[in-house]
Amino acid sequence: MQDGILTVRALTEHLRRSLEGRFPFVWVRGEVSNLSRPGSGHIYFSLKDQDAQLQCVWFRGQQRQAEQEQAFDPLTGEVFDRPRPSPLELLRNGLNMLCAGRISVYAPRGQYQLLVELVQPAGQGLLAQAFEERKRRLAQAGYFAQERKRLAPWNPQRVALITSPSGAAIHDFLELARDRGSGAQIRLFPASVQGEEAAPEIVRALTAANAQDWAQVIVLIRGGGSLEDLWAFNEESVAEAIFHSRLPVVAGIGHEVDVTLADMTADLRAATPSHAAQLLWPQRAELRQRLDESAAALRRAFAIRLEREELRLRERENALRWFSPQRHQIRLAERLARLSLALRGAARQWLTNKSRVLDGLERSRRAALTPGRLDALQARLSLLRAALDAALPHRLSNAVHSLTLAQNALRAAGVAWLETRFRRLESLEAALAANDPLAPLHRGYALVRTARGGILRSVGQTAPNREIEVRLADGRLTAVVSRVSPDAAQSGEKNI
Amino acid sequence: MSAGKENLFEKKMIRLQEIVTALESGDLPLEEGMALYREGAECSRFCREQLEKARHELSLWQDGELKALTPDEIGGAARGREPQEAE
């Protein structure tokens, strides 16, 4: 069952759980021994018989019921006819006692022990025996099986209450119920809770409550009392009715220490009637708290929801604004500003570059055109102009002079040329005069011409009988050619 | 006198819790959420009123008929009576 190696503590815990589960409530009879009552108020003793011994602890908290002489029941207010001696006083070494409680393990000593809840003189052992026997039988029939136990409804609204209307139990129950739940309807099914009539009345009430099919849960309660007082709840008929109840049954019978068969059969066992009310209904404050928490959660959830919606809305608004003309304009303006900036930067850069070039040029210009050089050039220019100014009149006067010279020369040349011509004309006139064709005529030569006027140079140019004109120095003769006699050597030449 | 009305407190409480869960899950339209919130607030108000005026009603089933029963009729008187019943 266990895997691996267990620590002592783990094993002891296992043992404790299985023992407590197996023996939640037992009756044991034996002789008291080793009784000790230390200052803590707890009572330690052993129960033994011939063959065995059982360690028992009666814790102080469990002794309340037994603390004083039992004139009345401290919880129910039930008054006993005769005061009963307290079990605390009865308890002493060597006495035969009947103890009830659960088995547990005291881990520090590895010891199992009985946690005593109830101590009675063993004389009452008959009832206990009957109880045990019946319990065994019912257990076998499955009455106490955990599997068949149903959950009582939480905060039930309709409750069937089975108890005595005159007992303290109902008072306690209602007292505690007052501050619990959210307002339930409680229907009381009156039944005697002790005596001969109790069992059948309880059974009848259980049957009636089931038959009505109105309640959500049946509550069966009774105040504390002696074993005999509670005996009705150990009756088999009652256990059987609870076992067969269709509605879940909550039982709160007697004190914490009292466990009846009805308790064990019920779906839920309450230690006392008050406890039954506690188990049924949550405290109203708790309900209120639960409601407050729910309401707060509601507001919170809705606030978160709203916040989220608002956030989404804002996102969309932002998106919308992004597309708005205004926004667009702003974006454009931003872009413009950016571009202007870039432009300014570029311009500045450009200017810088240019001014650098300009500086360079300026520098070289300054190097090339120093004022001194300029002055020199200017001086030269002045000189040139002066030279020019000086040269121009000179050249003019030269030209005028040349022109005069040329005029003179021309005039001289003209005269000379005329003289030459004169002289040549005179010589030519002389020559002409010397060469006058008529002049020879004076010396006897004649000039012969044809009738037509042509000079007759050859005899061949005329023929006999042709008229010819012969010029002589003092006149002319018209003659006719009688004969043509050419010279042998010179034919054609006329012989005059 | 059957179920239904009497369980209203629990039903409203459960409904309130459902609404909170639905709102927390958050995948429903806003209008629906607002309607749910209103309903939740109404549930809360109802439950609170219920708690403020919560009293257990007591009745007695006897001899086949139902009678009203005030808490005064039990309790105090019982202390005197029980001993007579005992034994």
**A278 and A150 in a common domain:** yes
Looking at this predicted complex, what is its ipTM? Answer: 0.73
With an 8 Å Cβ cutoff, are B75 and A188 in contact?
no
Instruction: List, for residues A443-489, the tens digit of each pLDDT value.
Output: 888 888 888 888 888 888 888 888 888 888 888 888 888 888 888 75
**A152 and A254 in a common domain:** yes
The lowest-confidence range among A60-64, A159-163, A294-298 is A60-64
**A162 and A267 in a common domain:** yes
**A235 and A135 in a common domain:** no
Instruction: List, for residues A377-398, the tens digit of each pLDDT value.
Output: 888 888 888 888 887 888 888 8
Contacts of A298 in chain B (CB under 8 A): 16, 19-20, 23, 37, 40-41, 44
With an 8 Å Cβ cutoff, are B26 and A304 in contact?
yes
- Choose one of A116, A140, A164: the last residue of a domain: A140
Beta carbons within 10 angstroms of residue A477's beta carbon: 11
Contacts of residue A221, Cβ cutoff 8 Å, sequence gap at least 6: A161, A162, A163, A169, A170, A173, A251, A252, A253, A270, A273, A276
Q: Give the model's confidence band at A70: pLDDT under 50 very low, under 70 low, under 90 confident, else very high.
A: low
Domain-embedded: residue A373: yes
Domain-embedded: residue A428: no
The lowest-confidence range among A66-75, A142-151, A461-470 is A66-75
Domain-embedded: residue A29: yes
Q: State mean pLDDT over A175-193.
A: 89
**A113 and A59 in a common domain:** yes
Domain-embedded: residue A271: yes
Domain-embedded: residue A135: yes
Domain-embedded: residue A427: no
**A212 and A157 in a common domain:** yes
**A107 and A227 in a common domain:** no
| pLDDT surpasses 60 at A300 | yes
- Best of A157, A197, A218, A294 to disrupt the B interface (most B CBs within 10 Å) is A294
**A153 and A122 in a common domain:** no
- Choose one of A88, A121, A140: the last residue of a domain: A140
Q: What's the CA gap between A256 and A389, in Å, rounded?
A: 154
Domain-embedded: residue A350: no
Instruction: List, for residues B45-64, the tens digit of each pLDDT value.
Output: 888 888 888 888 888 888 88
- Best of A196, A287, A304, A308 to disrupt the B interface (most B CBs within 10 Å) is A287
**A101 and A201 in a common domain:** no
**A479 and A378 in a common domain:** no
- Choose one of A243, A258, A282: the last residue of a domain: A282
Domain-embedded: residue A454: yes
Instruction: Return the CATH number at A214.
Output: 3.40.50.261
> Which of A81, A168, A184 faces B56 most closely, judged by CB atoms?
A184
Instruction: List, for residues B7-52, the tens digit of each pLDDT value.
Output: 788 888 889 888 888 888 867 787 888 888 889 999 888 888 888 8
The lowest-confidence range among A69-83, A231-245, A293-307, A362-376 is A69-83
With an 8 Å Cβ cutoff, are B58 and A77 in contact?
no
**A324 and A256 in a common domain:** no
Phi, psi of A193 (to 5 degrees): -115, 5
Beta carbons within 10 angstroms of residue B21's beta carbon: 11
Q: State mean pLDDT over A182-191.
A: 90
Q: State mean pLDDT over A157-172.
A: 90
- Best of B7, B82, B84 to disrupt the A interface (most A CBs within 10 Å) is B82
Q: What is the pLDDT of residue A266?
A: 94
The tokens for A406 are 């040329």
Contacts of B73 in chain A (CB under 8 A): 165
Number of domains in chain A: 5
**Residue A442 sits in which domain range?**
436-496
* Chain centroid, CA A429 distance in Å: 141
Mean pLDDT of chain A: 84
With an 8 Å Cβ cutoff, are B71 and A174 in contact?
yes
**A121 and A29 in a common domain:** yes
Instruction: Return the CATH number at A38.
Output: 2.40.50.140
Instruction: List, for residues A276-288, the tens digit of each pLDDT value.
Output: 999 999 888 888 8
